[in-house]
Amino acid sequence: MRTACYAIQAASAICIGSLVGCSAVNKVYDITNVQAGQTISGVPFRLADKYRVRVFRLQKDGTYKEVYSESRSMPDQERIYAANFDAKMLSDHGFKVELNADNTLKTTSLKTAQKATESISALADEVITNRTAREERHAVDRTGATTQRSLEASAIELKGKADIAEAQLKAALADPSTTAVDRVSARATLELARKKAIDAAVEAGLPAPFAGS
């Protein structure tokens, strides 16, 4: 009786795996040899098996006499299994396992909802979002590069103006006909031009000119 029943159990395990299509597949694992405290993947259950229940009564002569016998379906205490499912991409799954009161397997169900369209749409949205963010970063980089070039050009221009002011001051000092007021004015013009050139160079990240002046 046990041998025939084992053949039925093996067929049941195979049927569980063929309930659904390609989106997800029910899985049954033999966890009989799992150690206490070890993590398992799935819902544990036992399969029912046919047993011959026999009751014996002790006789006065010390022997036992069979007084009752029946065939009964009971949980197989030698094997234990775990039910789970193998999920596939682009789908939602609902997995349900029902057990009898004696922890034998009653039913399993696996519902799959395809989400290929939604997943592809979400993926496209993410790609677009990432591309937009990348383009914005590039735009900021280009704006920063343009601003930097403008600062450097302004610093160079102000340095040139300061050089011209210095040449004008030297010319005024060398000309005997230049009045004291004109010399003071030329010196003030040079100092202001140098200050503007130094400030512009610092803002552009360039070495400050006239360091030794």
Contacts of 167 (CB under 8 A, 6+ apart): none
For 106-141, b/e burial (b = at least 16 CB within 10 A) is eebebebeeeeeeeeeeeeeeeeeeeeeeeeeeeee
- Is residue 80 assigned to a domain? yes
Matching residue, tokens 């103006």: 161
Same domain? For 178 and 101 the reply is: no
Same domain? For 172 and 104 the reply is: no
pLDDT of residue 18: 37
- Look at residues 98, 114, 130 and tell me which one is the last residue of a structural domain: 114
Same domain? For 57 and 107 the reply is: yes
- Is residue 210 assigned to a domain? no
Domain residues for 57? 2-114
Sign of the CA dihedral with 39 first, then 43, 49, and 55 last = positive
Same domain? For 22 and 65 the reply is: yes
Same domain? For 107 and 10 the reply is: yes
- Look at residues 114, 133, 164 and tell me which one is the last residue of a structural domain: 114
- Is residue 213 assigned to a domain? no
Same domain? For 127 and 180 the reply is: yes
pTM of structure: 0.36
Low-confidence residues of the chain: pLDDT under 70: 1-26, 86-95, 108, 110-128, 130-131, 140-141, 211-213
pLDDT of residue 96: 75
Pairing relationship of beta strands 64-75 and 105-114 according to DSSP bridges: unpaired
Same domain? For 68 and 126 the reply is: no
Number of separate domains in the chain = 2
Terminal-to-terminal C-alpha distance of the chain: 111
**Please, are residues 73 and 102 in contact by the beta-carbon 8 Å criterion?**
no
Closest CA to 190 of 144, 152, 159, 151: 159
Pairing relationship of beta strands 91-99 and 105-114 according to DSSP bridges: antiparallel
Same domain? For 97 and 188 the reply is: no
Same domain? For 88 and 145 the reply is: no
Give the span between the Cα atoms of 89 and 115, in whole angstroms.
9
pLDDT of residue 125: 65
Same domain? For 14 and 108 the reply is: yes
